[in-house]
Amino acid sequence: MTSTWFTRVGIVFGKEVRDHSRDRRSLLLALIYPMLGPLLVAGGLFLASKTLQGDFRQQHIEIPVIGLENAPALAAYLQDKNVRFRTAPATPAEREDAVRQGRLPVVMIVPLSAKGQERFSVELITNLGRVDNLRVTSRLRALINAYNEKIADELAKKAGLAEGYGAPIKITQTNVAQDANIAVFFYNMMPPLVIFMIFLGGVHLAIDTTVGERERGSLEPLLLAPMERGGLLLAKALAALAFTAVTTVVNLAAFRVFMGMAVASSDRLAAPPGWEVFAQVFLIAIPLMAFAVALQMALAVITKSMKEAQIYLGLLPLIPALPGMVMVFSPLNPTDLTAGIPVLGQMLLINQLVAGQALDPLHVVIATLSTVISAGLIFALAAKWFRREKMFVLG
């Protein structure tokens, strides 16, 4: 009896997979859409690689300046460090407008009071909302700070003081992150986009095999088959799960390939996570796929029309993806409590894998169990609704 039940589930599963493999919309969702996110991220990474191409410290930068003649020693020092100068706009309003609109990366103003002085202030007008401005400004500030320390040491030596007296606190920095953090930022964008595709991959099939078949009148003949309705819904859910898995594989592979191609254009960017990391991400995401499909089937079963189901399920991927985008800027480490929250637990684990951190096996077990149990409860509720006769007269 059990083997017969599994056989019937397998027959319906095979039918749904074959039907939707021939459907262009299903194939588009499974094979083409998953590449859009990776292409977008890889495109941004490629542009970043062009920005960082070569050793930026050895490249000359051109700085618009006002009052450079007031500090000839500073001018000579900066010129020795590959800084070139040009005349800045005459009025304050023109200077600020040029920087605001991106025509100039930064403007340096040396006041008249600096003439003949060893201590004076330098004003920088910049727009740090632009990445290229940030790079130029950061380098200019670093050079001015280095010149400041050089003058401080010279003054201390003249006064018979110890070297470094003018700057008693020195800062040393050890960077334990991967090189070229701008690349790591793009890598951190992967988890929310992967999760978005997981919740989108089986949507079309979930809608089409439930409320879609009900509207077309093709669901009733299936209900006449000697098969329990819960088993029928399970077969449809497994087909949606198969398409979700294919979508996830395509999405992860596209991320690895496209980002690898983008990084190959520059020696200044850290390499993306290896294939073994993406394999681990897929394994961690399996319970999440089951949860997504269970939720999709539940929503598709209770909706009255395909249009209503498309609205609800079209918005569904945004719910888990938006918190993931927040965590790009504010990472959160998993705890026993957060790992036990369905979906969030997998999201945190995927973030750790992409960041190159080791996973706590206990967190993996907790996240997997909580998400699988939640998926089972949601699917049981969907199956209960699917058994109700009035579900087939809605619409």
The C-alpha atoms of residue 279 and residue 260 are separated, in whole angstroms, by 16
Contact 225, 179 (CB under 8 A): no
Looking up tokens 């340096």 gives 108
pTM across the whole model: 0.70
| Alpha-carbon separation of residue 214 from 211, 217, 312 (angstroms) | 5, 5, 18
Closest C-alpha among 17, 47, 72 to residue 269: 47
Tokens 């008249």 belong to 112
Give me the amino acid identity at 242: A
Provide the residue-wise pLDDT of the chain in tens; the chain has 395 residues. 556 777 777 877 787 777 777 777 667 666 777 888 888 888 877 776 665 554 445 567 888 899 889 888 888 988 888 889 888 888 888 988 888 888 888 899 998 888 888 788 888 888 876 666 777 887 888 888 888 888 887 777 877 777 666 666 555 554 444 444 567 778 888 888 899 999 988 888 888 777 777 777 666 666 666 667 778 888 888 988 998 999 999 999 999 998 888 887 766 677 888 899 999 999 999 999 999 999 998 888 888 777 877 787 778 888 888 777 777 777 778 888 888 888 889 989 998 898 888 899 999 999 999 999 999 999 999 888 877 765 555 44
| Domains, the chain | 2-51+181-392 (no CATH), 56-158 (3.40.190)
Residues in contact with 229: Cβ distance below 8 Å, sequence separation at least 6, in sequence order:
223, 383, 386, 387
